[in-house]
Amino acid sequence: MSISTQITPETSSAVLTEVDYGSPIHDRITGWYIREARLLDHRLLDEWQTYLAEDLVYKAPVRLTRRVQGFDTEFGAIGHFDDDHASMTARVKRLTGTKSAWSEDPASRTRRFVTNISIWETDIPDEYKVSSYLLLTRNRADAKDYKQLSAERNDRLRWNGERFLLSRRTILLDQVVLGMPNLAIFL
């Protein structure tokens, strides 16, 4: 049984150059994340999908509880998501193009709070590694409480001349046992 250690942004070079906070690139990418959260929270999923690259790899490995010496091996081979562009397209189509995607009908009310954005240059010009923290609240129907989820997301963003596209996302969840009954939403 293989264990992946995707706890840090993966890199092909030994040392990554971090993009300064407050620089134009940092501002632009931070804006991208605010826009993404807004599209998802407002269920503008078709528009969100236009920000996904054709070679997208979208994963959320399951987490394990290890003794502290194994803290960097807490992520398993199986994911809560194990997706690519085609499967994400199918997921969006089910949610927006059918009349019976019951897990999100009535829809969840979600808020994605995205902070702690760190950005690194990569070996490829106009491609960046981005790490962000995500706090998501989810409320459905008349529930008085919220289902919550926190995670670190390790992404790869590519500038295509017009906009950044998401080409890789690894969602590192903080829960071993999820508190929400499904992930019919995107992280």
Partner 1 sequence: MRINRRSTFLSDPVSDLIDVENREVSVAALHDPDLYELEMERIFAKAWLLLGHESEIPNVGDYVVRLMGEDQVIVARAADGQVHVSLNVCPHRAMHICIADSGNARVHKCIYHGWAFRPDGSFIGAPIEKEKMHGEIKSKEQLGLKKARVTVYGGLVFATWNHDGPTLEDFLGDMKFYYDMLFCRTDGGLEILGPPQRLTIDANWKTAGEQSACDGFHTLTLHQSLLEGGAMAGEENTEHESAPAMYGVNVSGNGHSLRCIPADTSWAMMAGKTHAGMTDDERLELMPPPGITKDLLPQVRKNLSAEQLHVFAKAPPVVGGMFPNVNLLFIYSPLRDGTLGSAMVMHSINPKGPEKFEWVTYFFAEKDTPEEVKAMMRAAATQGTGTSGVIEQDDSDTWPHMSESARGVIGRTETLKYQAILGETRPDDWPDKAKVYSGFSKDDAQWNWWLAYRDLMLAEA
Give the footprint of partner 1 on this chain (CB under 8 A). Answer: 1-2, 60, 62, 64-67, 70, 76-84, 86-87, 90-91, 93-94, 97-103, 176-184
Amino acid identity, position 104: E
In one-letter notation, the amino acid at residue 11 is T
Q: Which is nearer to partner 1, 12 or 100 (CB)?
A: 100
Q: Which is nearer to partner 1, 2 or 116 (CB)?
A: 2
Rounded Cα distance, 77 and 83, in Å = 13
Closest to partner 1 by CB, 118 or 175: 175
Strands 164-173 and 52-63 turn out to be parallel
Smallest distance, Å, CB 9 to partner 1?
22
Q: How far apart are CA 59 and CA 122, in angstroms?
A: 20
Complex with partner 1: residue 117 or 166, whichever CB lies closer: 166
Smallest distance from the beta carbon of 62 to partner 1, in angstroms?
5
Beta carbons within 8 Å of 89's beta carbon, 6+ residues apart? 49
Please report how close the Cβ of residue 152 comes to partner 1 at its closest, in angstroms. Answer: 18
Q: Are 10 and 142 in contact (CB under 8 A)?
A: no
> Is the CB of 78 or the CB of 124 nearer to partner 1?
78
Q: How far is the CB of 89 from partner 1 (least distance, A)?
A: 11
What is the nearest approach in angstroms of partner 1 to the Cβ of residue 21? 33
Per this entry, what is the length of the chain? 187
How far apart, in whole angstroms, are the C-alpha atoms of residue 31 and residue 22? 12
Q: For residue 71, count CB atoms less than 10 angstroms from its CB and return exposed for 0-12, middle for 13-18, buried for 19 or more.
A: exposed
